[in-house]
A and B are shown apart, each in its own frame.
Chain A
Amino acid sequence: MTVAGAIEAENLQKTFKGGVRALDGVSFGVEAGTVFGMLGPNGAGKTTAVRILTTILPPDGGSASILGYDVRRQPAQVRRVIGLAGQYAAVDENLSGLENLRMIGQLTHLPRRAATARARELLAQFELSDAAGRSVKTYSGGMRRRLDLAAALVDRPPVLFLDEPTTGLDPFSRVSLWSVIAELVRDGTTVLLTTQYLEEADRLADRLIVIDHGRVIAEGTSSELKAQLGRSVLDLDLGAEELAEKAHAALVEQLGRGATRRASTVEVPLDEGPQGVVDALRVLDSVGLTPAGLTVREPSLDDVFLALTGHVAEDSPQ
């Protein structure tokens, strides 16, 4: 077997009852051992794509394969090589962490003893050993997500699907989950990750696609996309409108590029990264101004969408 793409999707189509076109011809390939990010707002079709690739939902049209196994014709083989962790943290609340993982282990055909051993190993790896015997009802949101991720890893799947793994988590839990995912990738797991957060895709994904209304609207590496989609912006707060006006005039004149003024703030696009900050401050200094406040903003998903589609990312029902 050739090691082509670990995940291949070709012209996937899915229309739900009521005529909602969730996927309208989505194609992409994921190389083995890499992290592939699927970025898009709620209702863009990310979860539908994951459901099709994990054999939960049949596509209306198009084809997809995981490690060469066709998701429609060989679902049983596909299920043996994938792990899925979803945004809803699908674990049984009434069972303890250990019981949950043991159940998944047994359902992936491990004998009971081996399933228990594997469960303990994962609980330790995800720092849940202390809560192993407690029912999941008592877990915090972050602990549930970690358990959900652990459940996806019981069978050491070579291909892992993470559907918005950190949505709704606090920043601390999010960062700790990111480091776990990064570790998995070092071990050679192929990961498909969906997210609404540009920062998350940027941190984890080697390549990514942006989807909106069931279509791929951009594709590339994170830095390619960022260069194409949006750039960091320097916000300079001058404290007063007339000072901002003066600063704006000087910046436009000396830097020779567009800057925009909003009330007492001037926004300068940073085309060449941090150097732009230095340049802008030099200009201000040369006209005797000192900013009262200064922020460098990464482009947000909203900026990306605005740049790509001309409309703001909107929440539409899944």
Chain B
Amino acid sequence: MTAVMASDRTALAGGRGRVTPVRALVDTLVVAERNLISLVRIPEALFFSSVQPIMFVLLFRYVFGGAIHAPGGYVNFLIPGIFVQTMAFGAVQTSIGLAEDLQKGLIERFRSLPMARSAVLAGRTVADLVRNIGVAAIISGVGFAVGFRVTTGAAGFFAGIALMLLFAYALSWGFAVIGLSAPNSETAQVMSFPVLFPLTFASSAFVPVATMPGWLQAFASYQPVSQVVDGVRGLMVGGVTDVAWHVELTLAWSAGLLVVLAPLAVRRYRRRV
């Protein structure tokens, strides 16, 4: 009787019991919803995506800003940098969250369910994307309040938002790799910051690269975060030479990171038990 029940179930699931693309999408959205609920309920995560960026805006605008000279006024220079920096910092939550899920056995439960295997990582990164849309809205609000002005029009502004969301999405997969490689969530956090700090601070996000020593300029000018920041800056407030070049480089970096990191994350996910 039990055996009959079992074959009925598999028949319902469709042939060999494989997961269809539609199911994979539904599973991804279910996991994404779960991660977004967690985001709202974990104070640290919520802090990183809301309070912290506001503090950074205020800190750089009013404390450091007076000492930093940038073409077009510092506030217009700063806000595109804050956008990208906040999204990069937020991606750390992905590494912490995945390491925690592994540690607590939640991933094992997911693996024993008849769900799409890809949904755990896809759901996590889609949740990041949704969070980053919220982050973009918060920073835009604060930015406008402290004097940030878009000089290129709505199309340029939204193109800039889209560009940073794409890059942040690629970055999420990178932090997923870190989270899946760490033995626990604390280590995941510790492993994330050495990657994050040089990328965000040794970049054109907060100060013009030209003010840095020569050896640092070599890194800061070419690393991906600078490309995104310069691309976004060019799209939103102008004053950047070769905007198209930075945008193209950002697209190339994002595609490259995705092509390398997503399969790597999936492989790590398959191997980790």
CB-CB under 8 A for A55 and B112, given A91-B106, A92-B38, A107-B30: yes
Residues of A within 8 A of B33 (CB): 103
Interface majority SS (helix, strand, loop, mixed), chain B? helix
Q: Which of B19, B23, B112 has the most CB of A within 10 A?
A: B112
CB-CB under 8 A for A82 and B2, given A103-B34, A106-B30, A109-B23: no
Instruction: Give how many B residues have a beta carbon under 8 Å from the other chain's beta carbons.
Output: 38
* CB-CB nearest in chain A for B38: A94
Q: Is the CB of B7 within 8 A of A107?
A: no
What separation, in Å, do the CA atoms of A57 and B272 have in the docked complex? 9
Interface set, chain A 121-158, CB cutoff 8 A to B: 135, 151, 155, 158
Q: Is the CB of B13 within 8 A of A80?
A: yes
Q: Is the CB of B6 within 8 A of A81?
A: yes
* A268 close to chain B: CB less than 8 A: no
Residues of B within 8 A of A84 (CB): 108-109, 112
Interface set, chain A 49-106, CB cutoff 8 A to B: 51, 54-57, 67-69, 74, 76-77, 79-84, 86, 88-95, 99, 103-104, 106
* CB-CB nearest in chain B for A84: B112
Interface residues of A (CB under 8 A from B): 1-3, 6, 32-33, 51, 54-57, 67-69, 74, 76-77, 79-84, 86, 88-95, 99, 103-104, 106-109, 135, 151, 155, 158-159, 188, 190
* 29 A-B interface contacts by CB (under 8 A): A3-B2, A32-B2, A51-B108, A56-B111, A56-B112, A68-B3, A68-B6, A69-B10, A74-B17, A76-B13, A76-B18, A76-B19, A77-B17, A80-B10, A81-B5, A83-B112, A84-B112, A86-B108, A90-B105, A94-B38, A95-B34, A95-B37, A99-B34, A99-B37, A106-B26, A106-B30, A107-B115, A135-B41, A159-B2
Supply 19 further A-B pairs (C-beta < 8 A) apart from A84-B112, A106-B27, A158-B6: A2-B3, A3-B1, A3-B3, A51-B273, A67-B2, A76-B17, A80-B6, A80-B13, A81-B10, A86-B109, A90-B104, A90-B109, A94-B41, A104-B113, A107-B115, A107-B119, A109-B114, A135-B41, A190-B2
